[in-house]
Amino acid sequence: MAKIIDGKQSAAAVTDIVTQAAAKLEAEAGVKPGLAVVIVGDNPASHSYVGAKGRMAKQCGFNSMQYTLPEDTTQDTLENLVEKLNADPAVHGILVQLPLPGHLNSEPVIQSIRPEKDVDGLNVVNAGKVASGDLASGLVSCTPAGAMILVRNEHGADLSGLNAVVIGRSNLFGKPMGLLLLAANATVTMAHSRTKDLAAVCRQADILVAAVGRPLMVKADWVKPGATVIDVGINRVDAPEKGEGKTRLVGDVAFDECLDVAGVITPVPGGVGPMTIAMLMANTVVAAYRSLGRPIPTF
């Protein structure tokens, strides 16, 4: 029976460090870390995520700013707001909640956020720093950064001699996750929908990371006995046992059956998810410290 990773507990440890660092910055420099979140339109899931981020920012002692724009906001209006936030010294982190309404092009908006304020870690400058192995001066995308802390908690900072397989090659998660594992000295295989005999590739993994968005895809016979399994998938599936029309959240890993094979496994929900918001807070406090030329806290 695998050990189940408690993502909430790990996230709380990160936010404790963030809260202490924020309080120290305010006490010593009179500066509160400032996080500006921009949301466009009425997507209920996006509003739920933004609300959670705002509450966590306040809990950490940040100056939390939310900019809610109407559904019909133009590209120019959105980009002008980002430019204004770029120029505001009280704003250390800028996050534009995705997805944007269909008529807006998200890429130029994301790339217009100054790299030093890009707390989502999506600007090509920050992505490039991760790709080149420079993890010290950029901001790392929140979900892979959070997943790496969970891996590090189990295996330590040096993954030498361990085989890692990442299923999924998205710019948002798969690619940066693979690069972070590589930077920690793991031997990394990037697997995806075109990989031949995917199950056999996965069975070689001491660390198996699933991020494909296909519910319960990874079966028990894909998992090497004793492996660490990190499930990044969030999929909503029908749950008739809960009543007509009801759904439940599952990951990309068939959790119940893999529990008997893996050594360590993350649940969905309650695994990687809480780490994403925690690392957003960590990136914001790091950005605030850097803006003042202070040594950054470590997580």
The residues that are catalytic are 53, 97, 120
User: Cβ distance 145 to 177 under 8 Å?
Assistant: no
Nearest CA to 214 out of 196, 198, 195, 193 is that of 193
Cα dist from 211 to 15, 22, 176, 200, 253, whole Å: 24, 32, 12, 17, 9
Nearest CA to 184 out of 219, 214, 148 is that of 148
DSSP single-letter state for residue 206: S
Query: What span, in angstroms and rounded, lies between the C-alpha atoms of 59 and 115?
Result: 25
DSSP string, 97-120: -SSPPTTS-HHHHHHHS-GGGBTT
User: Cβ distance 106 to 50 under 8 Å?
Assistant: no
Query: What span, in angstroms and rounded, lies between the C-alpha atoms of 121 and 273?
Result: 16
